[in-house]
Amino acid sequence: MDRKKEIVSALMELASEKGLGAVSMQQIANKVGITKASLYNHFSSKDEIIEAMYHYLRDSSKKNIGMDSFDVDSLIDNRSMCEILAETVESYRKMCMEPQMLMFYKIIMSERAINKSAAEIMVTETRTMINATKMLFYALQIKGKAHFENIDAAAFSFAMAIHSIIDYECDLIHSDTVTENNMLQGYINEFCKIYGE
């Protein structure tokens, strides 16, 4: 494992034990087995490590579920709007539920109200999801599979609803509450009744 990945892993481990805000650069250096000065040769701040952790885990999770090469045209061909949205949302849900990504989100979400870096990560993730949804919705409209009066507004509302449902699913799992079946599919079906061609 290269040194930057070791540092990212050390922060992840420490944050899961202590909380993100309680972890110091010295603790990260100690966990990796390097000096604090050496740590600063790799990252200028803890915030920079947090951002690197997010990108590393997101890329790794996408690769693990085979989502690293996304081709909109092959996804859209010969499928209904509901099938396309269901497959896309399920891929995103699987990425979020990858064990390390799920742990990362738990850490970030628990601290986003008090930690600026955690809030920035959540904003980045939400914007990434909204932009990917817009790209997909434009393709759906061009291919005649959907009709949106305002694609940007539809993409925003869809992405935010999916985000909220996945958050709710995570809360149900974390609280050992019985999960409600097909929440995502039910929402997708209703959305397609409104916007599908």
pLDDT tens sequence across 30-74: 999 999 999 999 999 988 988 888 888 888 888 877 766 666 777
What is the structure's pLDDT at 153?
Answer: 96
- Number of domains into which the chain is organized: 1
Residue 15 inside a domain? The answer is no
**Cβ proximity of 101 and 65 under 8 Å:** no
**Cβ proximity of 175 and 193 under 8 Å:** no
What is the structure's pLDDT at 68?
Answer: 62
The amino acid that residue 120 corresponds to is E
Long-range contacts of 155-160 (CB under 8 A, 24+ apart): 155/130, 156/130, 158/85, 158/133, 158/191, 159/126, 159/129, 159/130, 159/132, 159/133, 160/126, 160/130
The crossing angle, in degrees rounded to 10, of helices 3-18 and 46-64 is: 100
Task: Determine what percent of the chain is predicted with pLDDT higher than 70.
Answer: 95
Predicted confidence (pLDDT) per residue in 91-100, tens digit = 888 888 888 8
pLDDT at 1 over 60: no
Stretch 137-156: mean pLDDT? 94
Residue 142 inside a domain? The answer is yes
**Range of 142's domain?**
67-195
Note if the pTM is more than 0.85.
no
- Say which CATH number the domain at 164 has: 1.10.357.10
Token pair, residue 159, equals: 């992405």
DSSP 92-151: HHHHHHSHHHHHHHHHHHHHTTT-HHHHHHHHHHHHHHHHHHHHHHHHHHHTTSB--SSH
Residue 9 inside a domain? The answer is no
Nearest alpha carbon to residue 174 among 118, 107, 129 = 107
The crossing angle, in degrees rounded to 10, of helices 183-195 and 81-97 is: 150
**Cβ proximity of 85 and 191 under 8 Å:** yes
Which residue would you say has higher pLDDT here, 194 or 71?
A: 194
Residue 163 inside a domain? The answer is yes
Residue 180 inside a domain? The answer is yes
